[in-house]
Amino acid sequence: MNNLQKTLEYFAFISVELTILFLGISTIVALALMYIPQERLKGWISRKGIWGNMLGALVGGLTPFCACSTIPMTLGLLNAGTPFGPVMSFVIASPILNPIILSMIATLMGFKAAVMYALVTFFAAVVFGLLLDALGFGEHVRNVRLQKSCCGEKEAYVPATFGGKLKASFSAALGDFRRVFVYLFIGVAIGAGIYGYMPQELIVQWAGPTNPFAIPIAALVGIPLYIRAETAIPIGLALAGKGMGLGAVIALIIGGAGMAIPEMSMLASIFKKRLVAAIVFVIFSTAVLAGLFFSTVL
């Protein structure tokens, strides 16, 4: 009964906390983006050289798109002649680096962990975007026409008044929450079960800081689980509380958010197999390197 009570208390507390956090941060970001035209964002990414990659990673990080919004924007950038490298930095950063992920990590794991996560993933998006461009992967983009977003969004309307913008931003945040709440609560439910019932000794043995294979295994585990960051973070938090190394937790979050099978399938519609495989390798490498960095520094 004590374990059941702990499990239910964990589920209720984390569910409420993450719901408030998601809606609040999503509303703030949507409101901020109403003052920045999408064409200006595309213009930032279109710069050549490393600045274009840095701005591509920044825009990817600042815009918490779902995959079905990222794909049309990626196509739009490519069709507009945006350099390939910055587009790749945008594609890499978009699923693994955004305000929702950072705010969840800051709330559940601490501000220092969130800053480290942001720096490592931003650096990886910039470097790997440059590398994919230098290796000639720009030749592996399919000739695909720009389609409407599969999320079914209508043409964005920006109200004139601040009150109208705030209301529209909250409405957009609610829409985003409806799309992810199932994943969020599944993650919280699994995390609550781990918190209440999984033996700590088992986690320490298989995924503790002393296991050298814990980080790459955690990065790979995220792929077939079909998890989003909203799912992986509460699971990772519960595992960390049971003794899982923080590096392995970070690897799980990046692997789950960046290499989920549905997102990779959507990328395969605009990129050839070799480029999709390269992106999978990039995300996996980012997960492992970030995990090793976290396990060394923290």
**pLDDT of 199 above 70:** no
Considering 75-84, 223-232, 278-287, the range whose residues carry the highest mean pLDDT is: 278-287
Whole-Å CA distances, 152 to 69, 133, 155, 156, 173:
10, 32, 10, 12, 15
**pLDDT of 159 above 50:** yes
Query: How high is the mean pLDDT of the chain?
Result: 80
Query: How far apart, in whole angstroms, are the C-alpha atoms of residue 128 and residue 100?
Result: 23
* Burial label, 148 (beta-carbon count in 10 A; 0-12, 13-18, 19+): exposed
- Tokens 């799980």: give the residue: 252
pLDDT value for 203: 65
pLDDT, tens only, 230-242 = 677 777 777 777 7
Whole-Å CA distances, 182 to 199, 239, 259:
26, 20, 19
pLDDT, tens only, 91-136 = 999 888 878 888 878 877 889 989 999 999 999 999 999 999 999 9
Residue 274 φ/ψ, nearest 5 degrees: -65, -40
Domain range list for the chain: 2-297
Give residues with Cβ within 8 angstroms of 226, minimum separation 6: 260, 261, 262
Reported confidence tier of residue 57, pLDDT bands at 50, 70, 90: very high
Tokens read off for 224: 């077939």
Tokens read off for 258: 């960046």
Query: How far apart, in whole angstroms, are the C-alpha atoms of residue 73 and residue 89?
Result: 13
- Tokens 């901020």: give the residue: 32
pLDDT value for 278: 93
**pLDDT of 35 above 90:** no
